[in-house]
Amino acid sequence: MSKLMIIFPVALMLASNCPVRADSKIRFDRQVRPILSDACFQCHGPDESKRQGGLRLDLVAAAQQGGDSGPAVVAANLEASELWKRVTSTDPDRVMPPPKSGKVLKPEQLETLKLWIQQGAEHQEHWAFQRVARPTVPTVEGVTNPIDAFIRHRLRQEGMTAAPEATRETLIRRVTLDLTGLPPTPAEMDAFLMDPAPDAFEKVVDRLLSSPHYGERMAQQWLDFARYADSNGFQVDSSRQMSAWRDWVIAAFNRNLPFDQFTIEQLAGDLLPNPARDQIVATGFHRNVKLNGEGGRIQEEWFVETVIDRIETTGLTWMAMTLNCCRCHDHKYDPISQKEFYQLFAFFNSIDESGVLEVEGGNTRPVQKIPSTEHELRLEQLQQAIPAAEAKLASLMTTSEARQAHWELEFAKQLDSNPEIWRRFVPAEVKSLGGATLTKQPDDSWLASGTNPANDEYQIIGPIAAGTMTGLLLEAFPDPSLPNMSLGRYPNGNFVLTDVDAVITAPTLATPINAEINRAVSDYDQPGWPVQAIVDGKSTRQGRNSKGWAVDGPTKRENRKAMFLFAAPVAVPPDATITIQLRHDAIGGHNIGRFRFSTTSWPVEKVKLDTASIPASLRLAIATRKSDRTQAQLDEIAAHFREYADAEIKQAEQAIAAAKKAVTEYEASVPTVMVMKELPMPREAFFLKRGQYDQPGDKVERGVPSAFPSLPAGAPLNRLGLAQWLASREHPLTARVWVNRAWERFFGTGLVRTTENLGSQSESPSHPELLDWLAAEFMEATTLPAVAGKAAAKWDMQAMQKLMVMSLTYRQSAVLVPVDDPENRLLSRGPRLRLPAETTRDQALAISGLMVPTIGGPSVRPYMPEGVWDETSRYGDLRGYKPDSGAGLYRRTLYTIWKRTAPPPSLMLFDAPAREVCTVKRSRTNTPLQALALLNEITYVEAARKLGERMLTEGGSSAEERLTYGFRLATARRPTNDELQVLVDGLNEDLARFQRAPETATQYLSVGTSKSPESLRPTELAAYALTANVLLNLDEVVTRE
Amino acid sequence: MPHRFEFADFLNRRTFLRTSAAGVGTAALASLLQPAAMAQSATHHAAKAKRIIYLFQSGAPSQMDLFDPKPVMADKRGTDLPDSIRMGQRLTTMTSGQAKFPVAPSIFKFSQHGECGMWLSEILPHMSKVVDELCMIRTLHTEAINHDPAITFCQTGSQLAGRPSIGAWASYGLGSENRDLPTYVVLTSFGSGRPDDQPLYDRLWGSGFLPTVHQGVKFRNQGDAVLYLSNPPGIDPVARRSTLNRLKSLNAQHHDALRDPEIATRIAQYEMAFRMQSSVPELLDLKDEPKHVLEMYGPDVSRPGSYAANCLLARRLAERDVRFVQLFHMGWDHHGGLPNAIKGQCRDTDQATAALITDLKQRNLLQDTLIVWGGEFGRTIYSQGGVTETDYGRDHHPRCFTLLMAGAGVKKGLTYGVTDDYCYNIVENPVHVHDLNATILHLMGVDHTRLTYRYQGRDFRLTDIHGTIVDNVLA
**pTM for the full predicted model:** 0.79
Give Dmax over CA atoms of chain A in angstroms: 122
- Best of A1, A3, A300 to disrupt the B interface (most B CBs within 10 Å) is A3
CATH architecture of A422-612: Sandwich (2.60)
A45 contact partners, CB below 8 Å, separation of at least 6: A37, A51, A56, A57, A58, A331, A332, A333, A760
Q: What is the pLDDT of residue B54?
A: 98
| DSSP bridge partners of A517 | A566
Q: What is the pLDDT of residue A3?
A: 44
The span from the CA of B213 to the CA of B207, in Å, is 8
Q: Looking at the partner chain, which of B211, B253, B255 has a beta carbon nearest the beta carbon of A923?
A: B211
Which residue numbers in chain B have pLDDT < 70? 1-42
Counted across chains A and B, CB pairs separated by less than 8 A come out at 330
B426 contact partners, CB below 8 Å, separation of at least 6: B139, B141, B399, B400, B417, B418, B419, B420
Q: What is the pLDDT of residue B20?
A: 33
Closest chain A residue to B244, measured at CA: A1030
Q: Is B457 within 8 Å of A931 when comparing Cβ atoms?
A: no
Secondary structure of residue B46 in the 3-state scheme: coil
**CA distance, residue A335 to nearest chain B CA (Å):** 14
Residue A93, Cβ neighbours under 10 Å: how many? 7
Residue A36, Cβ neighbours under 10 Å: how many? 21
> Does A1006 reach chain B within 8 Å, measured CB to CB?
yes
> Does A526 reach chain B within 8 Å, measured CB to CB?
no
Q: Looking at the partner chain, which of A589, A932, A986 has a beta carbon nearest the beta carbon of B242?
A: A986
Sort B31 into a burial class: Cβ within 10 Å, 0-12 / 13-18 / 19+: exposed
**CA distance, residue B12 to nearest chain A CA (Å):** 13
Share of chain B above pLDDT 90, in %: 76
Nearest to B434 by CA among B68, B81, B143, B25: B143
Give Dmax over CA atoms of chain B in angstroms: 86
Crossing angle of helices B261-284 and B26-33, rounded to 10°: 10
pLDDT digits (tens, 9 = 90+) for B454-468: 888 888 999 998 999
The span from the CA of A878 to the CA of A240, in Å, is 10
Q: Is A815 within 8 Å of B258 when comparing Cβ atoms?
A: yes
Q: What is the pLDDT of residue A647?
A: 67
Q: Are the C-beta atoms of residues A569 and A528 closer than 8 Å to each other? A: no
Q: What is the pLDDT of residue B131?
A: 98
Q: Looking at the partner chain, which of A325, A483, A1002 has a beta carbon nearest the beta carbon of B340?
A: A483
> Does B211 reach chain A within 8 Å, measured CB to CB?
yes
Domain edges within chain A: 15-125, 388-419+613-662, 422-612, 936-1040
Secondary structure of residue A982 in the 3-state scheme: helix
Q: Looking at the partner chain, which of A491, A986, A1035 has a beta carbon nearest the beta carbon of B251?
A: A1035
Residues 134-153 in B contacting A (C-alpha not used; CB under 8 Å): 145-148
pLDDT digits (tens, 9 = 90+) for B37-66: 333 346 889 999 999 999 999 999 999 999
- Best of A485, A872, A996, A1005 to disrupt the B interface (most B CBs within 10 Å) is A872
Q: Is A871 within 8 Å of B147 when comparing Cβ atoms?
A: no
The interface predicted TM-score (ipTM) is 0.82
Give me the amino acid identity at A408: E
Question: Has domain B50-221+304-473 been given CATH number 2.60.40?
Answer: no
Alpha carbon A820 to its chain's center: 43
- Three-class HEC string of A840-900: HHHHHHHHHCCCECCCCCCCECCCCCCCCCCCCCCCCCCCCCCCCCHHHHCECHHHECCCC
- Three-class HEC string of A350-384: CECCCCCCCCCCCCCCCEEECCCHHHHHHHHHHHH
CB contacts of B160 in chain A (<8 Å) are 305, 917
Q: What is the pLDDT of residue A135?
A: 96
The span from the CA of A1035 to the CA of A884, in Å, is 30
Q: What is the pLDDT of residue A923?
A: 85
CB contacts of B201 in chain A (<8 Å) are 237, 872, 900-902
Across chain A, which has 1041 residues, the per-10-residue mean pLDDT values are: 37 42 73 87 85 83 80 85 88 87 86 88 88 96 95 94 95 98 97 97 98 98 98 94 98 98 98 97 98 90 96 97 89 91 97 92 94 91 92 87 84 68 87 90 89 90 86 92 89 92 88 91 90 76 74 88 91 88 89 93 79 71 88 88 73 85 88 96 95 94 96 96 98 98 96 93 92 98 96 98 98 85 89 96 98 97 94 90 96 98 94 94 91 97 98 96 98 97 97 97 97 95 98 98 93
Q: What is the pLDDT of residue B398?
A: 96
